[in-house]
């Protein structure tokens, strides 16, 4: 039995299309899960997805969000717009956005607060790269990402998730071992205690991401501080993703 309700999020990145949406959503129709399940498709497909969702427990998430509310910011999408489109959570600061689109910890902090203010769930992504792990500075990298990315955040009793995604595990087939995941998640929870106090830190969910598949789901989620999963490649196969979600749901009540 998990201490916190598991959450499984599919990050489709720049993949998928209407066909995948139909097949994915159809596989969830009429099914109950004791875990929160969300899919983050490319923005353009959110509305298409919404129309199929009435008969499933799926949530829709976004892969990014603007730090701005409105104005002359070409190509941006605001938290308010996402909420109106039926979105319920936003990924913030995914490592691909940090590496390729110049996302900073300070930018992430602004996005996290904006997302909270609009009643959506922010999922702040953090994680070290291979070089940083080899240099033994994983904890100091995470410390900075968390303390800068969450400085002075006003939670107002709302929810917040952290996704630990070691960059070396993303898309490589080399997931972190359950032991590494637990060790790092425990470190992250200690930082959440410093930032928000013990009661809140014990309530917030910490997800693991990086080469998650149906073979490693159970062991990863069996760790006490692994409260959920952020799934990339495996989520593009609807049957595979459903199996991961089913395992998470079973562990929630086992």
Taking residue 75's Cβ as centre, other Cβ atoms within 10 Å add up to 5
165 binds ligand 13P (CB under 6 A): yes
Please choose, out of 31-39, 137-145, 186-194, 210-218, the segment that lies near ligand 13P by the rule CB under 6 A: 210-218
Nearer to ligand 13P, 94 or 205 (CB): 94
Single out the catalytic residue among 59, 94, 118, 185.
94
**128 assigned to active site:** no
CB 146 within 8 A of CB 162: yes
**Distances in whole angstroms, Cα of residue 163 to Cα of each of 28, 47, 74, 115, 138:** 23, 25, 28, 16, 15
Judge whether 165 counts as a catalytic residue.
Answer: yes
Binding span for ligand 13P by CB under 6 A among 15-23, 127-135, 190-198, 225-233 = 225-233
**Which range binds ligand 13P by CB under 6 A, 75-83, 97-105, 113-121, 229-237?**
229-237
> Which 8-state DSSP code applies to residue 223?
S
Q: Check if the beta carbon of residue 59 is closer than 8 Å to that of residue 36.
A: yes
The closest residue (CB) to ligand 13P is 232
Binding site for ligand 13P (CB under 6 A): 11, 94, 165, 170-171, 209-212, 230-234
What positions carry a catalytic annotation?
A: 94, 165
């Amino acid at each position: 039995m998990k201490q916190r309700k598991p959450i499984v999020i599919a990050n489709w990145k720049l993949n998928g299309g209407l066909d995948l949406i139909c097949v994915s959503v159809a596989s969830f129709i009429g099914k109950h899960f004791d875990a929160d399940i969300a899919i983050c498709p490319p923005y353009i497909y959110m509305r298409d997805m919404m129309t199929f969702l009435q008969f499933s427990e799926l949530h829709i998430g976004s892969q990014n969000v603007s730090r701005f509310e409105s104005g002359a910011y070409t190509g941006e999408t605001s938290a308010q717009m996402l909420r109106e489109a039926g979105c319920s959570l936003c990924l913030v600061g995914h490592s691909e956005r940090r590496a390729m689109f110049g996302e900073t910890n300070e930018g992430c902090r602004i996005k996290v607060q904006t997302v909270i203010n609009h009643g959506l769930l922010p999922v702040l992504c953090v994680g070290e790269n291979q070089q940083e792990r080899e240099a033994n500075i994983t904890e100091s990298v995470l410390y900075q990402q968390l303390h800068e990315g969450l400085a002075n955040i006003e939670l107002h009793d709302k929810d917040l998730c952290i996704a630990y995604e070691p960059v070396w595990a993303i898309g490589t087939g080399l997931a972190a071992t359950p032991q590494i995941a637990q060790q790092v998640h425990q470190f992250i929870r200690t930082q959440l205690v410093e930032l928000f106090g013990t009661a809140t830190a014990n309530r917030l969910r910490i997800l693991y991401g990086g080469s998650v598949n149906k073979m490693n789901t159970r062991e990863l989620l069996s760790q006490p501080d692994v409260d959920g999963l952020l799934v990339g490649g495996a989520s593009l196969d609807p049957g595979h993703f459903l199996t991961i979600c089913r395992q998470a749901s079973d562990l929630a009540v086992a």
